[in-house]
Structure 1
Amino acid sequence: MAAEPEDEPLPTSPSRSPSFKGHLKLGDFAYKDVPQATRRSARLLGFQAPKGTQTVAKPDGESTAASTSPGGPSTAGPSERKRRRTEDTGGDAAEDAPEKKDESKDATSLAPMFLKGAARSARSLAIMTKRQKTRAAAPSDGGKNGSGYAPPSTYAHLSGVPDALAPGLLVMFVGLNPGVQTARTGHAYAHPTNLFWRLMHTSGMTTRLCSPSEHLDMPRLFRLGLTNIVARPSRSGAELAHRELDAGVAVLEAKARRFRPEAVCMVGKGIWESVWRVRHGRAIRKTEFSYGWQPESENMGTAAGVAKAVAAANSVDPSFVSADLVGEGMEEAEGAADWGGARMFVATSTSGLAATLPLVEKERIWRELGVWVEQRRAEREAAAAAEA
């Protein structure tokens, strides 16, 4: 359809056919084969083109320089103003100088980036080397340390907590190790969130609620003793090495052999797992674990149990075992072959961080041991009264 002239008035009669007047003129957008030159900044249009270039005209009347060399179009230098000043004052050598200077400037401008990258790489390498040296200096247990392991030097400023043990105990309670609050006060289970003293009372093993400051009086007051599988303090059990726990089993066997309690209570599943690992040479299976009383074959303090635990501890690391205590336990074992060891009871952990079981379940498990303690205490009192 032919285009209508631009000066023709718009149709007003409804009988006229519709037109595209006032709409897009598609002809303006049709492809035209016109050579296009690279556009340049307006401030660069006035500089003199160097030798070896020709001017290419643009459709709007502007002109730009294009290279005639075989290498293709030339690229403008980073500083055109400096080039213009040089061309006004110099000869042929001045034309090449800006190019050489620009190249050196480009190379120089890249140098700081390479230097910064090299510096960062050097710092990263130094940090990695320092970490490797720290790991190499730390004692190794063949990869058996936990991820949160803290060496003894971390809490070297804290003192341990003394055992509360004596001959003729009803129960010897075995904790994991002293916590920071316990080590600071010098009394067992001293953290306010620890449930030990509460469970001791609600289970019936103590006739009243005792305080941590009375822990050394427990053998005299209630015939109950307290000790730990690891003597050194830490913030949590995750900071202990597995080899420390395994070596501590020998110390427990020796203490049981020396003081001969009627029963030994592990205050926490993890302690019993260490004892099992030393005795059986492998980790305990879920189907093999249960809270409460353990089979008679698991009694603690027998001659065979002490000997096996000492051998296992020496193979792990003899430095964790007190030679004097283990030796004394072995002497007791050699002179008392008729003693069958202490009964083994596994109770829940009393730590405030142990939230796997609800409180009612913990109280039920501890009450099972409390019933036995009440019964044995009554039998002892009756026997003492009969002898009097």
Structure 2
Amino acid sequence: MDDEEAPRSFNGGLDKFIHSPGATPSASPVKSLKRKIGIKEEDEDAEDEKKVLSAPVSPRKTRSSKSLTQSTLVAMSRPSRQSTRSAPPRTPRNASSGTPVKAEDDASTASESSRGPVSRLRDSIPENLVLLLIGVNPGIMTGQTGYAYAHPSNLYWRLLHSSGITTFRHPPSDTYRMPELYCIGNTNIVVRPTRDASQLSKEEMNAGVPVLEEKIARFRPEAVCLVGKGIWEAVWRVKHGRNIKKEEFKYGWQDEEENMGRVRPVVGGNSRDAWPGARVFVATTTSGLAASMSLAEKEAIWAELGSWVKERREARGFVLPTMSQALGTLDN
């Protein structure tokens, strides 16, 4: 019976589907063909991977993928609160050498920057002047050049001339020639330069008052001119321990009891060391930013001071400069 042929169904068409227990699965026609031409299994896998990677992506999927990528990048660029808190503080480094800066050096740098720019303006206060003019503080241009009231909009040099305190209208570069030419000097209540006086604190102004008192007591000018209402308000606060009242303020000469730099006699000391102090004249500000008073009003106040200065110079026998001297050329 072993040699007997099994009956065929459908003319033998189903025979190829009959399972043989010991038969080895035949390779697919495609794989057989690839073996014949020498393509390895690994190459086949690589080729399949290329097909997947090169498969076209629909426009809708591309847009959503792009949108997701952008939002992801934005989210990644924002530091989380947790990472910000846990990040260690960066050590300050020297800009030139790159070496770490100590804490005290960093604090010193911050302190210097808070004080603002350094002024090149110097006091011009020889002893025994007829008049010492006291400004608020140097402006930016004055601090940079070292010349008093250097900004072109400032009326200082114009008012000195129109009042008769100077016989010519001098440029700011003549700042340090004023004592020699006219027996007048210059200083400020605050050294720090600013764009305008409003940037100064009351504490800064108050701190400058005892410094002024010391300068005046040391060099002993006959009178001082406070160039601006704010200076007198600071002097009053320090002297009287309160703000000056509106009805107490006045431009021009102040009462003798308000003299500055007074040196009182010391018990058992030399009475000749005592000094009644310098008379105080309060003038208008010369700043070009101040528009509360007209030029004519300012000139009227300064003219009163100018008349007194001319009288005191004549009484001393002070000789005013010639034009050539005023222009910087000495007569032979």
TM-score, normalised to structure 2, is: 0.60
**Pair 1:346-2:282 in alignment:** yes
* 1:303 alignment partner, SS class: coil
In the TM superposition, residue 237 of structure 1 has moved relative to its aligned partner by 1.3
In the TM superposition, residue 152 of structure 1 has moved relative to its aligned partner by 6.2
C-alpha contact 1:160 1:231 (8 A) present in aligned 2: no
Matches within 5 A, 1:181-260: 181-260=141-220
Which residue identity does 1:297 align to in structure 2? E
C-alpha contact 2:134 2:186 (8 A) present in aligned 1: yes
Q: Which runs of 5+ in 1 are unaligned?
A: 1-111, 127-137, 139-150, 305-329, 384-388
In the TM superposition, residue 337 of structure 1 has moved relative to its aligned partner by 4.0
Q: Distance in 1 between matches of 2:214 and 2:318?
A: 30
* 1:164 alignment partner, SS class: coil
Matches within 5 A, 1:44-55: none
Q: Distance in 1 between matches of 2:197 and 2:117?
A: 18
Question: Alpha carbons of 1:236 and 1:160: their partners in 2 closer, same or farther (altered >3 Å)?
Answer: same
Which residue identity does 2:128 align to in structure 1? G
Matches within 5 A, 1:351-362: 351-362=287-298
C-alpha contact 1:155 1:233 (8 A) present in aligned 2: no
Question: Alpha carbons of 1:218 and 1:335: their partners in 2 closer, same or farther (altered >3 Å)?
Answer: farther
| 2:312 corresponding residue in structure 1 | 376
CA deviation string 1:80-121 (max 9, x = no partner): xxxxxxxxxxxxxxxxxxxxxxxxxxxxxxxx9xxx9xx9xx
In the TM superposition, residue 382 of structure 1 has moved relative to its aligned partner by 7.6
Q: Which runs of 5+ in 2 are unaligned?
A: 1-70, 86-106, 320-332
In the TM superposition, residue 179 of structure 1 has moved relative to its aligned partner by 0.6
RMSD: 3.3
Q: Distance in 1 between matches of 2:125 and 2:131?
A: 10
* 2:308 alignment partner, SS class: helix
| 2:119 corresponding residue in structure 1 | 159
Q: Distance in 2 between matches of 1:152 and 1:179?
A: 18
Q: Distance in 1 between matches of 2:226 and 2:308?
A: 15
CA deviation string 1:22-69 (max 9, x = no partner): xxxxxxxxxxxxxxxxxxxxxxxxxxxxxxxxxxxxxxxxxxxxxxxx
Larger radius of gyration: 2
Matches within 5 A, 1:82-231: 153-154=113-114, 156-231=116-191
CA deviation string 1:257-294 (max 9, x = no partner): 01100000000000000000000000000000000000
* 1:254 alignment partner, SS class: helix
TM-score, normalised to structure 1, is: 0.52
1:267 to 210, 214, 227: 227
**Pair 1:297-2:257 in alignment:** yes
| 2:301 corresponding residue in structure 1 | 365
Question: Alpha carbons of 1:293 and 1:152: their partners in 2 closer, same or farther (altered >3 Å)?
Answer: farther
C-alpha contact 1:294 1:345 (8 A) present in aligned 2: yes
Q: Distance in 2 between matches of 1:285 and 1:156?
A: 32
* 1:214 alignment partner, SS class: helix
Q: Distance in 2 between matches of 1:215 and 1:255?
A: 18
Q: Distance in 2 between matches of 1:360 and 1:253?
A: 32
Q: Distance in 1 between matches of 2:212 and 2:121?
A: 16
C-alpha contact 1:160 1:233 (8 A) present in aligned 2: no
Q: Distance in 1 between matches of 2:270 and 2:188?
A: 25
Which residue identity does 1:339 align to in structure 2? W
Q: Distance in 2 between matches of 1:303 and 1:152?
A: 35
C-alpha contact 2:117 2:192 (8 A) present in aligned 1: no
Counting aligned pairs with the same residue, the percent is: 53
C-alpha contact 2:226 2:232 (8 A) present in aligned 1: yes
C-alpha contact 2:283 2:302 (8 A) present in aligned 1: yes
Q: Distance in 1 between matches of 2:131 and 2:146?
A: 21
C-alpha contact 2:252 2:281 (8 A) present in aligned 1: yes
